[in-house]
Chain A
């Protein structure tokens, strides 16, 4: 690696542009920059980049303050006595860090001394600064607390949603369990597969007094798209619509309450277009069973 490259990689230039170096180290960087065009270029880029960053934060001086500042500056620089000694002052070099204090000569340049200096003003300033500091601290804590609160509220809302879903599922399951455990008045009607679908199996729980009908699928062939299973009650040889099966019922994941049926001697299922048909398509009959 070339010598200038390792110098560029050393991080010294970044420290220079950020004002972290003491005057000796600064001079060293400047000598390097004078000797090596590559170092010069790198340094210029970093300075320019930081300049863009500074400029990106540009803020117009508030309207009320602009004239005040400008007129004071003009008054200050118009004073002939202030100009002479200061003109000889050395250039303020880049310097910001605590470890790199300002040379005393520069510090002694008389700049913009505020004329009014009463004890009260001092006391008020100190009080204001204390208050500013406390406000800053409280404000940052408040902001943090606010962020934390929003996060906590979000996760609380998420839990509430989950628990609602769980509750709904639990209610459904309990209803189904209740149905299965107290089959008083319910008749289990086994529906067996037709010759075309020998493995298909389902059952209907029918309460003739309450007219309630539930369907519980063990196995049904998969449906072609746009089709749905429809349950029919056969009353004196006449088919009566008992409703269509929801997808999770047809897949056997859930027991479904169907339409109320006043009287039936048998139940059967056919494949119908989504939404069901008025009359059964007999050719698609999948399961059937007598009470």
Chain B
């Protein structure tokens, strides 16, 4: 097990924070913000690709998390998984409605393989496992699939169509990529 202070792994402090949030303690929200905002904002910004809009979605997500906290089931999954999913869903809704309004699906700025190969993250927190570490474990083809599925909100069949690949290939790549990621913290 890695000794990095990953917030995606649970701690005692997390359970206490959940209790305070449930109790309606607003100072817990500030603490929650300081602990999770970078991770949530990172995911959101990667989906909506616009800082202002990402901040709006983050705000929306935090309010939703606050109000839904009572229904969060600690037995069903980690707090991080749950909150990141709420944020991700809202962000994906945002780009879906944007695409709807623009009338056509706009290709993500860095979905192309070439961009993947030269992409450099502008900011990430070095105290977490860095993007580079992950990039090294995943080949660009796997990252491309995972990025489309995770940050693009594509289903596996949509990703297959988008990348012009057989569905089986997309499934294999997604599965392999997830397996590698899972091993990172084993």
A residues touching B (Cβ–Cβ < 8 Å)?
A: 11, 14-15, 17-20, 30, 45-62, 65-66, 68-70, 72-74, 76-78, 82-83, 86-92, 94-99, 102, 109, 111-112, 114, 126, 129-130, 132-133, 136-137, 139-140, 143-144, 147
Contact = CB atoms under 8 A, between A and B. Distances in A.
Given A48-B9, A50-B150, A111-B67, A19 B89 contact: yes
Interface in B13-67: 24, 26, 29-30, 33, 37-39, 41-43, 45-46, 49-52, 55-56, 58-60, 62-64, 66-67
B24 A74 contact: no
Contacts of A53: 134, 146, 150, 181
Contacts of B49: 136
A61 B34 CA distance: 10
A21 to B, nearest CB: 10
Interface of B: 6-9, 24, 26, 29-30, 33, 37-39, 41-43, 45-46, 49-52, 55-56, 58-60, 62-64, 66-68, 70-73, 76-78, 80-82, 84-86, 88-89, 92-93, 96, 98, 101-102, 104, 106-109, 111-112, 114-115, 121-125, 128-131, 133-134, 146, 149-150, 153-156, 158, 171, 174-175, 178-186
Contacts of B154: 97
A153 to B, nearest CB: 16
Given A56-B130, A74-B30, A87-B67, A48 B153 contact: no
Given A48-B182, A96-B88, A129 B134 contact: no
Given A53-B181, A56-B124, A133-B106, 4 more contacts: A52-B134, A58-B128, A59-B46, A87-B67
